[in-house]
Amino acid sequence: MNEIIKKIINLRSKEFVAFDETNINRYSIVVKEADGTKTAYYFSSPIYNSENDKLIDLLFTSEKDNVMFIGSNCSVCLEKNNVKFLQENCVCELYPKDSLGIVSKDIAEYGEDLLSPTLNGILYRGKGDNSYTFSLDIKIHKKVLNISSNGKYLALMKNEKTPLMAISCLGAKKTGDGELVPAFISYKEKEQGCIEITIHSEYKCGCFLFEVNLYEPKLFQDTTVESCRLFDTNVYGTTAFVGNTDESGEQWLYSRIDMLKIPELFDKRIKKAVCHFPIYSEPINKIEAYEASERFCTFTCNWNNKPSIQKNKKLKNESSKGNYHVDVSGVLFDRKTGKICSSDGTVICPKEKGVKPIAISTGDSCAYPQILEVNYT
């Protein structure tokens, strides 16, 4: 079964009648319910290929002498000593330290490094060998405006606001207990067009995880803010460590939905809306969700200027099946009319000071995409 369909089935507690074949939104799958309503599942990144409109299949396939994966608007080609990211022409190449070995349907081995498909790139699990760092080389073939980096991501910028590609840290797994801890990315230029990226952690780690994705606009527009870096944003990062860490202090996640990507809902009567945030750690009962007090910009929102939370507008939330579920019904639509309304978004933050962090996927993750579930008539 297609992995995207599996994600939807995992969220559901009941069977559905059929898929709605009239859906044309690249971000969603719509199902027909037994009571006559419909439920749309909107993924944070497109789930259909931009050229052939086919649902992405998160599997590697063999073509001649190469191993390929087709994402939403790019192709990934696994060759003996390198990994190519293609979009018409080659955008860039990654150079693992070992040669390509065994390839299964969803995992490719370069020595002890493991690669898996994401919605528009790859998830890279780099072997750490009880070390603090992991490095590899990248060759950039397309002209970029600059390289934007804040320690959590590295983006090859096509223009001031739009990346061509983003490399972002999910985290690193500590040696011993395997706990996912924050990891950071840095780079240095080598010869022209070639850079070396280094993923590093404050702890000795056995595995470093990061995503390499060609960019597509996201449904969820979000950023983390943190008390140790008052003016930092994290607009292209893929993980939020909500709570307290030595590296970042206290961290919150601000998130809002780009309404222009769900225009087909404007004339519908919505009954319920829930955001599903993939989580990487337990327990989850140490965080809360609130409606944001005012609109925020993901490019400029930071700890110093963040909107306050509305304590009287706490959102219903729970965790199960590897997700943190937040009921955004009152945020997304007017409960009296069922019509979509303007929203200032949501805030996920720790219940109290000093809470051990909960690792949550952000809207920029193509490996663990957030999902908006909307039931409507």
- Distance (Å, rounded) from C-alpha 194 to C-alpha 174? 30
| Burial group, residue 272, by CB count within 10 angstroms (0-12, 13-18, 19+) | middle
> In the predicted model, what is the mean pLDDT of the chain?
93
Q: Is the pLDDT reported for residue 79 higher than 70? A: yes
- List helix spans (H) across the chain: 3-11, 329-332
pLDDT of residue 281: 77
pTM for the predicted model, two decimal places: 0.95
The single-letter DSSP state of residue 226 is E
pLDDT of residue 15: 81
| DSSP-assigned letters across all residues of 69-80 | EE-SS-EEEE-S
CB-hemisphere CA count at 13 Å for 176?
Answer: 5
Mean predicted confidence (pLDDT) in 54-68: 90
Are the C-beta atoms of residues 230 and 239 closer than 8 Å to each other? no
Residue-wise pLDDT tens digits, 111-162: 999 999 999 999 999 998 889 999 999 999 988 889 999 999 999 999 988 9
Nearest to 82 by CA among 202, 248, 212: 212
- Distance (Å, rounded) from C-alpha 69 to C-alpha 202? 34
Are the C-beta atoms of residues 95 and 140 closer than 8 Å to each other? no
| DSSP-assigned letters across all residues of 329-374 | HHHHB-TTT--B-----EEEEESSTTPPPEEEE-TT-SSS--EEEE
pLDDT band at 17 (very low <50, low <70, confident <90, very high): confident
CB-hemisphere CA count at 13 Å for 252?
Answer: 27
